[in-house]
């Protein structure tokens, strides 16, 4: 977004600045943790389709003037990469509280698909982890391999869609689910030389959570900021404690973390690829349809005004 006018006390941006919308923030607590997100769970807040809008200065961050990246890449960055930065910091930090780099320099990170996970795997790689993503898209598989991240086709695992109720009542479902879960675990074991996942990134939730937990090493971290396909999860505490499984839950990031993420992006070239299509304002319904049909990239964007 571009700043058109500012209030007298605003210090974080000036008229004409190109800014990133700090979109998670509508309300925050005294430490800066977001308690309600712009448009998402803040009744009466305006969304991101207004042609002009009024925001608090803590809801925007001026982009560096010398940035080599296109505004469309920063738009792709603004939600998923900022979320990835906040979540990865806690996941990686927690793992390293349990095992140091001297003890285990190159652990495995295993991930399901999605843009937040993609950004986290890039961070994991920079931190020395060996990275693997399960994806159903061949273009992504090729792009991941180019980045030195192993890509595994998840299409043979389509039956990993856990439902407690069906598992207890439907014999055919149970047989298919169990076979797919075993295939997943064998695949993870093979891809990690039997070491399993030290960090597992799962923003999908309910249908894959049971399989995700089983793919964890001892000790390990399962980390998330999302519940794309379901948020009601169950665990066996004795098992999770005994195997030192740490469950990390975060949402978006604090304002200073977003600033840090932008600086990190600049110095480490950590940014989404240039989008293959920028949807115009009138094409937003088409974007929604393309996303639902799985035809968009991990970082689809729309443009409200010409810049």
Ligand X SMILES: NC(=O)c1ccc[n+]([C@@H]2O[C@H](COP(=O)([O-])OP(=O)(O)OC[C@H]3O[C@@H](n4cnc5c(N)ncnc54)[C@H](OP(=O)(O)O)[C@@H]3O)[C@@H](O)[C@H]2O)c1
Site residues (CB under 6 A) for ligand X?
Answer: 24, 79-80, 83, 112-117, 135-137, 140, 154, 203-204, 207-208, 225-229, 251-252, 298
CB of 226 to ligand X, least distance (A): 2
CB of 86 to ligand X, least distance (A): 8
- Compare residues 204 and 216 and give the one whose CB is closer to ligand X: 204
Cα separation, 62 vs 50, in Å, equals: 19
- Compare residues 107 and 205 and give the one whose CB is closer to ligand X: 205
Q: CB neighbours (10 Å) of residue 188?
A: 25
CB of 208 to ligand X, least distance (A): 5
Pairing outcome for strands 27-28 and 19-21: unpaired
Which H or E run contains 182? Answer: helix 171-191
Contact 223, 202 (CB under 8 A): yes
- Compare residues 1 and 84 and give the one whose CB is closer to ligand X: 84
CB of 225 to ligand X, least distance (A): 4
Measured at the CA of 227, the angle between CA 222 and CA 230, to 5 degrees, comes to 110
Cα separation, 123 vs 253, in Å, equals: 16
- Compare residues 3 and 154 and give the one whose CB is closer to ligand X: 154
- Compare residues 96 and 214 and give the one whose CB is closer to ligand X: 214
> Could you say which DSSP state residue 27 is in?
E
Q: End-to-end CA distance of the chain: give it in Å, rounded.
A: 8
CB of 276 to ligand X, least distance (A): 15
């Amino acid at each position: 977004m571009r700043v058109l006018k500012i209030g007298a006390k605003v210090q974080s941006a000036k008229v004409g600045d190109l800014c990133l919308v700090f979109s998670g923030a509508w309300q925050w607590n005294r430490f800066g943790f977001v308690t309600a997100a712009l448009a998402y769970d803040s009744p009466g807040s305006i969304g991101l389709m207004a042609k002009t809008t009024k925001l608090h200065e803590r809801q925007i961050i001026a982009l560096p003037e010398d940035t080599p990246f296109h505004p469309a890449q920063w738009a792709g960055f603004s939600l998923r990469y900022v979320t990835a930065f906040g979540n990865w910091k806690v996941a990686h930090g927690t793992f390293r509280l349990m095992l140091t780099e001297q003890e285990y320099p190159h652990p495995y990170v295993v991930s399901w698909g999605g843009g937040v996970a993609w950004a986290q795997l890039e961070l994991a790689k920079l931190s020395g982890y060996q990275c693997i993503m399960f994806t159903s898209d061949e273009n992504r598989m090729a792009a991941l391999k180019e980045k030195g991240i192993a890509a595994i086709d998840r299409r043979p695992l389509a039956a990993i869609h856990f439902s407690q109720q069906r598992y207890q009542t439907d014999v055919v479902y149970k047989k298919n689910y169990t076979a797919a879960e075993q295939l997943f675990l064998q695949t993870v074991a093979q891809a990690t030389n039997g070491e399993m996942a030290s960090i597992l990134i799962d923003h999908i939730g309910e249908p894959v959570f049971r399989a995700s937990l089983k793919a964890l090493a001892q000790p390990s971290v399962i980390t998330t900021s999302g519940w794309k396909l379901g948020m009601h999860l169950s665990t066996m505490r004795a098992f999770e404690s005994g195997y030192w499984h740490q469950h990390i839950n975060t949402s978006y990031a604090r304002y200073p973390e977003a600033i840090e993420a932008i600086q990190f992006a600049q110095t480490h070239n950590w940014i989404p690829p240039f989008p293959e299509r920028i949807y115009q304002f009138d094409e937003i319904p088409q974007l929604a349809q393309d996303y639902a049909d799985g035809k968009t990239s991990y970082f689809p964007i729309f443009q409200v005004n010409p810049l």
